[in-house]
Amino acid sequence: MSFSIHPTHNAPLKLWDSAGPFEAGAMQQLRNVASLPFIHHHVAGMPDVHWGMGATVGSVIATKQAIVPAAVGVDIGCGMMAVRTSLTANQLPDSLAAIRADIERAVPKGMESSQTANHVKGGWAITPNSVSRAWYDKFEARWRAILAKHPKVDGKTSDQLGSMGGGNHFIEVCLDEEDRVWVMLHSGSRGTGNRIGVYFIEAAKQAIAKEQLDFHLADKDLAFLTEGSQLFDDYIDAMHFAQDYAMSNRELMMIRVLEALRKHVPGFKTDKAAINCHHNYATREVHFGERVWVTRKGAVSARAGELGIIPGSMGTGSFIVEGLGNEESFCSCSHGAGRVMSRGQAKKLITLDQHKAAMQGIEARVDEGVLDESPAAYKDIGAVMDAQQDLVRIRHRLRQVVNVKG
């Protein structure tokens, strides 16, 4: 290891607070990250900050010559994609139930295949040719190279490409302020990225323990890998693989969702340029005069003129934004509203009647299985947007009319 950890090192925190102080647990995590000796300049907290594993969700962490796998997380490359269509609201059918049903059939969701009774957890029972081609053209050789060094990360790969997953992942049909129809979705690298994340988080812990440095870490989940080590290089390679997988995953999902929509309203066109952005990832960037690793855990790149997506919740709409390039946030913004309740709390505190009221007018699942994703489990997206007016400019406000959850 090329770093010596000592308790006197603390980088500054720069926080975009949306509604009073951040929760105590999240603040402690931000301080823990700031105590790492390789932090560059400061740690930025976005207005959707909430507790996460090791590092807070909603934090931007710039590091020199080291990276923390748990800060990148286990849903590597998770992010958003949005496409504007030529459709307007009055071209949609009065009932949107059939559109939702066809989208659900087109894309595997949750933990089951959408195709046959022979369920494959979270993926395809029979992988479409288009998905198989994408896997073999873009990923097969790279995956084999990763497995040759780290066979323990093996598992489901191609049969989850083009699938949504569960949790807070979703697919939506939305309307903007001009009643133009958009299709938007949220997903990541699925089980492949999860296995990579879990494996290298543990590998980092073992490497730290071998050097007898774990005692000095404020949180063992902040175990890091140092640049120049073989494990660091292998992690970066696997992380980039997962990020590319996530990007392709969203593209393949979008193709199938648009095909499902065309069954009901054929002939529409889409904008040539779609927005496809990660919000759990790490990349090389230059900030404050140095080339560093920037880890965005629940944050979106918001360079000047760059378009991004900030979803609220399944009942409160989303925003298409343009970055303002604020260097103090490492040119970043929030990735959503941020949770105010854990999943367990939401299931205990939010009633089904409350959820139904919050979802009024939206074609969506309304049952006890999605109470942990109900709008009341999230911060006020309006307050979150108000808190980052120096980070982004709102280009479009989207309101969902169809929501598909796993």
Q: Which residues are annotated as a binding site?
A: 75, 168-172, 186, 279-280, 311-314, 318, 335-338, 405
DSSP secondary-structure letter at 191?
H
What residues are designated binding site for GMP? 168-172, 279-280, 311-314, 318, 335-338, 405
* 214: CB partners within 8 A, 6+ apart: 205, 208, 220, 223
Q: How far is Cα 244 from Cα 232, in angstroms, rounded to an integer?
A: 18
- What b/e readout covers 106-142, taking b as 16+ CB neighbours within 10 angstroms? bbbbbebbbbeeeebebbbeebbeebbebbeebbeee
Closest CA to 50 of 390, 379, 405, 387: 379
Closest CA to 213 of 74, 66, 71: 66
What is the pairing mode between strands 57-63 and 66-67? unpaired
Identify the active-site residue in 41, 50, 278, 335.
335
**φ and ψ of 396, to 5 deg:** -145, 140
Q: What is the DSSP string of 220-271?
A: GGG--EETTSHHHHHHHHHHHHHHHHHHHHHHHHHHHHHHHHHTTSTT--B-
Active site residue 335: yes
What residues are designated binding site for Mn(2+)? 75, 169, 186, 279
Which active-site residues does the annotation give? 335
